[in-house]
Structure formats: C-alpha cells, structure tokens
Structure 1
Amino acid sequence: MAIVCPTVLAGEPHEFREQIERVAPFASRIQIDLMDGAFAPTKSVALDSIWWPEGLDVDIHLMYQEPERYLEKLVNLRPNMVIIHAEANVDLVKFATALHENNIKAGLAVLKDTQVKEVQHFLPNFDHLLIFSGDLGRFGGQVDMSLLEKVSEAKKIVPNIEVGWDGGINETNALDLSNGGVEVLNVGGYIQRASQPDKAYVTISSLIS
C-alpha cells in the first residue's frame, strides 16, 4: 500500500519550523530536503539546524555534492533513512554500509536522466530508490510518467526495494503513480502551499488507499 510523505524544503530556520509544524500534526513520515548550493542550485537550512518532533519517521533527502563529509552528523540525528544521489561524489556502497551499521536505512535517488541500469550494481545495497521528477532545490516540477518504467526495472533487480517518487505530485496524478508501483509519494508544494494542509494530505491519501 502506498503512503503519502509530506516534504519539508526550507531556506531559513523560521521557514523550516513553520513547515515542520504545518505537517507534524497529521503526518507519520516526512521527508526533509537539504541542499548544499553545489549539487542543487539553491541552498537550504544547514544540517545542524534541522530537528523534528519525537515519534515522527523522518527521511533526509540529501542533495549534497559530497555527502560523506556529513555522515557522522547524519548518524547522530537518527533518522529513519538517508537518501543520497547516485550522481553525487560519493562511494555509494561505503555510505550505505555505514548507515546500515548504525541501523539507519539507505536510499538512492536518481535524477531524470539517470537510468536504472547505470546504478543496478549498487541497488542491492539500498533499501529505497527515489525517482526524482522535480527540480532540484524547489517544490513543484512536473510528473514525467515515462519515468515509471524505472519502478519495474528496479524491482527486477531488487524485488523488495521500496520505491519513492519526488516531484509534481497532486490529486491528478497520485493514483497513476501508485498504480504504477510507487510506494512512497513525497508531496511538497501541494500540501505545504495548501490553505488546509491536512485536507490536502487526506485528499492524496484517500486517492491511493
């Protein structure tokens, strides 16, 4: 069964707090997007500035060029999962192994132009594949349904890998993504910019339940 995972993407600490407080009352799992201004064109709040309420499962989506530099800080935060990009300057297997040694799940994100076959040898080391259909460092983007073929390609390599989607999810495409095999729908602007975020969350959740 697919789940809705609201995303938090903030440039300033006060924005981060507002976004966390906006979704924490109803979400059981969220994704925090972090950018270094190098891998992504924009810069988010610093890793040192993030926090979340106790009891919330948090995935950290790290859009950093050199994620290994931040491994110790990430481990100390004790998130549910850390997602790094296949396109970053990182030893993917070493990073995933270090997370697993600390009982943290490892996720691998791939940009639109990165094919599953390019990362097939690394996939067995990861718990989650994030199909990225958005614009780095920004809410929104467009859902490119042709990217759904990555779901079946990944499942052929690692049948039990969890597959998430990031970018452009709303009430017009959530069901198609779920039916296409996406298990974690990371929803940003549709929830964060809604006048009633809780109702936006319920709308998407009801569509895919």
Structure 2
Amino acid sequence: MTVVCPTVTAYDTHEYREQIERIQGFARRIHVDLMDGIFTEMASPPIDQLWLPEGIVGDVHLMYQRPVEVMSAVFALKPSLVIVQAEADDAEEAVVMLKQAGIKAGVAILADTEITSLGGIIEQADHVLIFSGHLGYHGGEADLGLLRKVAEVRERNATAELAWDGGINADNAAELITGGITVLNAGGFIQHAPVPEDAYAILESIIKDKQT
C-alpha cells in the first residue's frame, strides 16, 4: 500500500524542531533530508545535533557527496532506512555499510540521471527514490515524465519500494500512485499548509480512493 511520508528539510536546529513538531502528532513515517552544502547548495545542521522522534518510522535522505564519511553519525539516529544519492562518490560502499548494519538501504536518483548509467546499485536497494525536486529545498514541480523510470527500476529490482520526492500535491498524487509510486515524500504541501494534518489527510484519502 502507498504511504504518505512528510518531509523535513531544515537549515538550523530551531527550524528542524519546528518542522518535526508540525508533523509528529499525525505522521506514522517521516523523511528527513540531510545536506552537506557540497552535493547541495544548502547545508543542514550537524548530524549530531539532530534526532528522530520516538514512535515514528524515520527515513534519512543523505544528500552528501561522500555519505560514508558520516555514516556513523547517521547510525546514531537509529533510522529505519537511509537513502544515499546514486550520484555520490561512494554510493555503492554506503549501501554495503547499511546492509551490514541491518539498516534498509535506499538510492535516490536525480532527474537527469539515467538508470542505465548506475551499474548494479539499483539491484541492491530496498528503496528507490525518484527525485523531481530542487536539492535541499521544499517545493519544486513534479515532472511526471520521470514516471518512466518506474518501469526501468522494476526491470532491475522487482521488490524495492518506489518513492517520489518533489512537488507532490492533491492534483498529482493520484497519477503518481497509478504510475507505481508507493511512498509519497510530501514536503511543502504539508509543511506549508495552514493545517498540516489536513494536508496529510487529503493525500491519505487519495491513496484510499485509488487502492479500494
């Protein structure tokens, strides 16, 4: 079943806490973006200053050029899933480390990255994220043409979760679900809503309508 995963993208610990508090009352699973300021334009706070809320499944998206260098700090957060960028310098090594640590390994693919260029990393992944947003920012537009990558991923990995990040809203969620997406990483649509829980409920209702 498709799930809604509210996204946290923050540039200081105060903003991080605000975004966590905005969603932790209703979210069952969250997606936290961590940025190094190298792979991305913006940087998030040091990892050792962050936390994942108890009782909620926590996914961590490492937008790092060299994720292996911070993996010990990430492990301390006790995430359920860690997603590394396929374009990172040591992505395959990072996936191996995650598997050895008993943590689910995800791979994120930028819009311009072709699946055929990625070697065997897709086959190793528990989760593949199709990225249609702006690195390190909430919002962006959902380029639904990227849904073609769903079939390309499935040719290599029949069991991985398929996630989408970038521009999810009430107008396109149904098409994403129909296109094969099983995790909706919704940032601005929820975080910037007057009542975030209502925005979350809208996406949940769309999932229910599509899957009943």
Shorter-chain-normalised TM-score: which range? over 0.9
Secondary structure at 1:159 match in 2? coil
Where 1:143 maps in the other structure, the secondary structure is coil
CA distance in 2, matches of 1:76, 1:197: 28
Whether 1:99 aligns to 2:98 is yes
SS across alignment from 2:59: strand
- Counterpart of 2:116 in structure 1: which amino acid? K
Higher mean Cα deviation, 16-25 or 112-121? 112-121
Question: Contact 2:52/2:79 (CA < 8 Å) preserved in 1?
Answer: no
2:181 alignment counterpart: 182
2:64 corresponds to which residue?
64
Equivalent-residue separation in structure 2 for 1:185 and 1:60 (angstroms): 14
Match of 1:202 in 2: 201
TM-score scaled by structure 2? 0.95
Partner Cα distance (1:71, 1:5) in 2: 22
Q: Gaps (5+ residues) in structure 1?
A: none
Q: How far apart are 1:93 and its partner, in Å?
A: 2.9
C-alpha deviations, 1:75-100, integer Å up to 9, x for none? Answer: 2221011111011111x332112111
Q: Which amino acid aligns with 2:134?
A: D
- The corresponding residue for 1:49 is 49
Instruction: Assess if the C-alpha contact under 8 Å between 1:178 and 1:208 holds in 2.
Output: yes
In structure 2, the partner of 1:86 is 86
Q: CA deviation at 1:120?
A: 4.6
Alpha-carbon distance in 2 for matches of 1:117, 1:49: 37
Deviations 1:30-71 (A, max 9, x none): 000011111001111221121122111111111111111001
What's 2:74 paired with? 74
Counterpart-to-counterpart distance in 2, 1:120 and 1:143: 26
Q: For 1:83 and 1:114, how far apart are their aligned partners in 2? A: 16
CA contact (8 A) 2:190 2:199 kept: yes
* Structure 2: distance between partners of 1:43 and 1:75: 19
Contact kept, 8 Å, 1:120 with 1:157, in 2: the verdict is no
**Could you tell me which residue of structure 1 aligns to residue 35 of structure 2?**
35
Between the aligned partners of 2:31 and 2:135, the Cα distance in structure 1 is 14
Letter in 2 for 1:104: I
Asked if 1:126 corresponds to 2:100, the answer is: no
Amino acid at match of 2:66: E
User: Aligned partners of 1:156 and 1:66: how far apart in 2?
Assistant: 28
Residue 147 of structure 1 deviates from its aligned partner by 0.3
Kindly state the Cα deviation for residue 106 of structure 1 after the two structures are TM-superposed: 0.4
> Which residue identity does 1:188 align to in structure 2?
G
RMSD value, Cα: 1.0
In the alignment, the residues of structure 2 paired with residue 151 and residue 160 of structure 1 have an alpha-carbon distance, to the nearest angstrom, of 12
The DSSP-based 3-state class of the residue aligned with 1:99 is helix
For the residue of structure 2 that corresponds to 1:72, the secondary structure is helix
* Structure 1: distance between partners of 2:32 and 2:104: 15
Give the share of equivalent positions with the same residue, in percent: 46
Aligned to 2:114: 115
